[in-house]
Structure 1
């Protein structure tokens, strides 16, 4: 049996983030955070996996998203949490930039 691909969901126009680094969005019923870092855009779950802090209030720099509550940070390549913290990685979703806007596949 072939594995079913998740549906593509259009997030909005290509310039949806404008000049922002972080933008909260809802896609497929999930609260996500679009993150622009070093010319790329990724989507992450919006709530910190530690205690649910709103990561849209955090800060992004150097490929890392910092939680505003406990100052732990997440690597935007694989979602891993900074050393010294023992909770699961942040869920990340690739964002596709197409001629008709930004798209995501949720798994």
Structure 2
């Protein structure tokens, strides 16, 4: 299930770097979902099919907490309704009146999962 909340309001990053370390990749693999916060934006990291994905935590349709959702075949299912989001591009199940889920750039380096903090803060504004 979800681990403890990680707040990275003052993220550890090297000067001039836009990438923020969130957690060890081993933790994400073990827990599948890890909640994080960057600059006041709630996110979730997801381990699915051998890859790390970062996305907004609130469902864009009904604001449900997607860290309580479930994964199946590359899709994240909202815990409040039957809609799901494609983890490649964030698109919602056809027929639902909602924008796509925001997906953020992720990389794995030095045994850590890193998120592009600039992409997170610019998407929220």
**TM-score bracket relative to the smaller structure:** 0.7 to 0.9
Q: Match of 2:110?
A: 99
Task: Please say if residues 29 and 47 of structure 2, whose CA atoms lie closer than 8 Å, have aligned partners that are also in contact.
Answer: no
Q: Match of 1:35?
A: 46
Q: Match of 2:96?
A: 85
Between structures 1 and 2, the one with greater helix share: 2
Does 2:40 correspond to 1:17? no
Between structures 1 and 2, the one with greater strand share: 1
Task: Please say if residues 57 and 68 of structure 1, whose CA atoms lie closer than 8 Å, have aligned partners that are also in contact.
Answer: yes
Instruction: Using structure 1 for the length normalisation, give the TM-score.
Output: 0.87
Write out per-residue CA displacement over residues 13-72 of structure 1, whole angstroms, 9 at most, x where no aligned residue: 222324222221112331101111100010010000011000011001211000000120
Q: Match of 1:63?
A: 74
Deviation at 1:6, TM superposition (A): 7.3
Instruction: Using structure 2 for the length normalisation, give the TM-score.
Output: 0.75
Task: Please say if residues 92 and 100 of structure 2, whose CA atoms lie closer than 8 Å, have aligned partners that are also in contact.
Answer: yes
Q: Match of 1:73?
A: 84
Question: For 1:90 and 1:30, how far apart are their aligned partners in 2?
Answer: 14
Over 3 Å counting, the alpha-carbon distance change for 1:12 and 1:23 in structure 2 is: closer
Give the CA RMSD over aligned residues: 1.7
Of residues 46, 56, 61, the one that matches 1:50 is: 61
Structure 1 unmatched runs, 5+:
none
Moved over 3 A (4+): none
